[in-house]
Amino acid sequence: MNKVHFEQLDETLYHEKLDNGLEVYILPKKGFSKTFATFTTKYGSIDNNFVPIGKTEPIQVPDGIAHFLEHKMFEKEEGDIFQQFSKQGASANAFTSFTRTAYLFSATDLIEENVETLLDFVQEPYFTEKTVEKEKGIIAQEITMYDDQPDWRLYFGMIENLYKNHPVKIDIAGTVESIQDITAEHLYTCYHTFYHPSNMVLFIVGSVEPESMMALVKENQAKKTFEKPEEIVRIYPEEPVEAAIKERTLEMSVQKPKVFVGIKPEVLDLSGEQMMKHELAAQLAFELLFGRTSDFYHHAYESGLIDESYSFDYSLENGFGYALIGSDTQQPEELAKEIDNTIQRALELWPFGQADLDRVRRKKIGFFLRALNSPEYIANQFTRYAFNDMNLFDVVPALEALEVQDLQAAFYTVSLESQRSVFTIVPPEKESE
């Protein structure tokens, strides 16, 4: 077992890659009574076109299947796995994102039993046509629920605006129509292709003893047989740098219009150290331009252009990414214009120096230290970083190494006018205005 101590953070991380390819990480947290574990596969909603394991030809699967599969993993011949976790005092859950599907539990007791349950239920698929059919009603209600949430529609509407071909533009849960096509056979195909241990990460954090826990995981895995690991062939379409749709408006039952300006980053094929550096640099650049200490924020808030719902975000994955800036506002056009102007001005004359960088860097380091109090944050983020060949615990040194020109360079990759798009949600009665 490898052991890395992060002096500055006072954390020790234990790691081992098992014979079947599974990456196992254990991080003990002193003073905690709970343990949080995530078992994650690098398989998300964007993986809808791939070569199934043991085959040679790629297939296209129905939209929303990774999420559907996540739901169905909890049902077994003997019953619902939630019941098993409940008996063991654990609360279990799962989520599907663009790039991964995570199964998780947290518990303060019977940790070994719960880890076994987690490993076993994710590694024993059980799907029948009947149970697949039954799930469609539940997921249809989930999709309908999100359909009524303006903030989700705003977020997704923007991603649809930015991407022309890439499957990131497909809603993670699919549509009420697309899930009707999902069969048990589909689920098995996706399962066997993407749920191989070599495509997965187990992260256990909290009140855990590393040596004995690692032994337990190894023993559990040694009892099971898996196919030989194969490189997964995922197929993604060509994607232009320009935003697919410049501007779009949706009518919904909201009190006040909502607007997002979205930016599609230009550099899309980074991983590892380069990706970390770029992402952090871009995030700091956006913090300076659009954060709560920025001139933009000051003017926009004082003049009533934005309200408490204001947010901005920059996020990058392998193959896609986006920056989003927006708020509820009575003046969506003015706000979009002001955001545009802020970017243009920074392009013409980069307004930030060393003191600005130092300030936002300290803020980010502080945020990171705060986040390390949260086992959920550590497990989820560590896994996300690991799937992109980065190490979460390198964030502080990477931040410390950033220079002003790194921020500027990162900003240039998101600065073209053609990369931008505007999505607005308006209340129905305002339409005619």
Partner 1 sequence: MFQTINIAKGVNVHVNETTQFKTINFSIRFKDKLTKEKASARSILANVLQHSNEVYPSHTALRMVLDDLYGTSLYMDSSKRGNEHIVTLNVETVNDEYLSETGVLEKVMNLMYIVLFKPNFEDGLFKPSIFEREKSAIKQRIESLFDEKTRYAQQRMLEHALPGHPASISPNGTIEDVESMTNEQLVAEYRTMIEENEIEIYAVGDIQPETIAAYIREYFHFSDREKPVSAPPLELKKPKEPRVLEFEVMKQGKLHMAFYTPITFHDEKFPIMQVMNGVFGGYAHSKLFVNIREKESMAYYVSSSYASHFGLLFVLAGIDANLEEKAVKLILEQFEEVKQGHISDTELDQTKALLTNQLKEALDSARGQIEIYDQYMELSETFEPEDIIARWKNVSKEDIAAVAQDISLEMTYFLSGKEEDSNE
Which residue numbers are catalytic?
70
**Quick one: CA torsion of 132, 103, 174, 264, rounded to 10 degrees?**
-170
Query: What whole-number distance in Å separates Cα of residue 206 and Cα of residue 107?
Result: 10
Question: Please, which residue, 246 or 292, has the CB nearer to partner 1?
Answer: 292
Q: Is 128 in the site for partner 1 (CB under 8 A)?
A: no
Could you report how far apart the first and last alpha carbons of the chain are, in Å?
66
Per CB under 8 A, contacts with partner 1 among 161-220 are: 206
Question: Please, which residue, 177 or 417, has the CB nearer to partner 1?
Answer: 177
* Shortest spacing between CB 158 and partner 1, in angstroms: 17
CB burial of residue 300 (10 Å; 0-12, 13-18, 19+): buried
CA 416 to chain centre: 25
Query: For partner 1, which residue of 128, 274, 341, 373 counts as binding (CB under 8 A)?
Result: 373
* Shortest spacing between CB 235 and partner 1, in angstroms: 31
Query: What whole-number distance in Å separates Cα of residue 337 and Cα of residue 353?
Result: 25
Q: Is 311 in the site for partner 1 (CB under 8 A)?
A: no
Residues 144 and 34: beta-carbon distance below 8 Å: no
**Quick one: CA torsion of 251, 253, 259, 262, rounded to 10 degrees?**
-70
Q: Is 256 in the site for partner 1 (CB under 8 A)?
A: yes
Question: Please, which residue, 270 or 360, has the CB nearer to partner 1?
Answer: 360
* Shortest spacing between CB 129 and partner 1, in angstroms: 15
Q: Is 428 in the site for partner 1 (CB under 8 A)?
A: yes
Count of alpha carbons within 13 angstroms of residue 38, beta-carbon side: 24
Question: Please, which residue, 337 or 359, has the CB nearer to partner 1?
Answer: 359
Residues 6+ apart with CB under 8 A from 208: 26, 27, 28, 35, 111
280 vs 9, 40, 286, 403, CA distance in Å?
Answer: 19, 24, 10, 11
Q: Is 365 in the site for partner 1 (CB under 8 A)?
A: yes
Stretch 10-39: interaction string toward partner 1, x if CB under 8 A: x------------------xxxxxx-----
Query: What whole-number distance in Å separates Cα of residue 158 and Cα of residue 354?
Result: 33
Can you tell me which residue has the tokens 């690692």? 214
Stretch 313-352: interaction string toward partner 1, x if CB under 8 A: ---------------x------------------------
Collapsing DSSP states into helix, strand and coil, what is residue 120? Answer: helix
Q: Is 227 in the site for partner 1 (CB under 8 A)?
A: no
Considering only 55-63, 254-262, 382-390, 403-411, which stretch makes contact with partner 1 by CB under 8 A?
254-262
Query: For partner 1, which residue of 16, 147, 389, 394 counts as binding (CB under 8 A)?
Result: 147
Query: For partner 1, which residue of 5, 58, 80, 351 counts as binding (CB under 8 A)?
Result: 80
Angle 33-118-64 from CA coordinates, rounded to 5°: 120
Considering only 120-128, 143-151, 239-247, 267-275, which stretch makes contact with partner 1 by CB under 8 A?
143-151
Count of alpha carbons within 13 angstroms of residue 19, beta-carbon side: 10
Kindly determine how many residues on this chain lie close enough to bind partner 1 according to the rule CB under 8 A. Answer: 70
Task: List residues near partner 1 by CB under 8 A.
Answer: 8-10, 29-34, 80, 82-83, 86-92, 106-109, 134-139, 141-142, 144-145, 147-151, 206, 252-256, 292-293, 297-298, 301-302, 304, 307-309, 328, 359-360, 362-367, 369-370, 372-375, 428
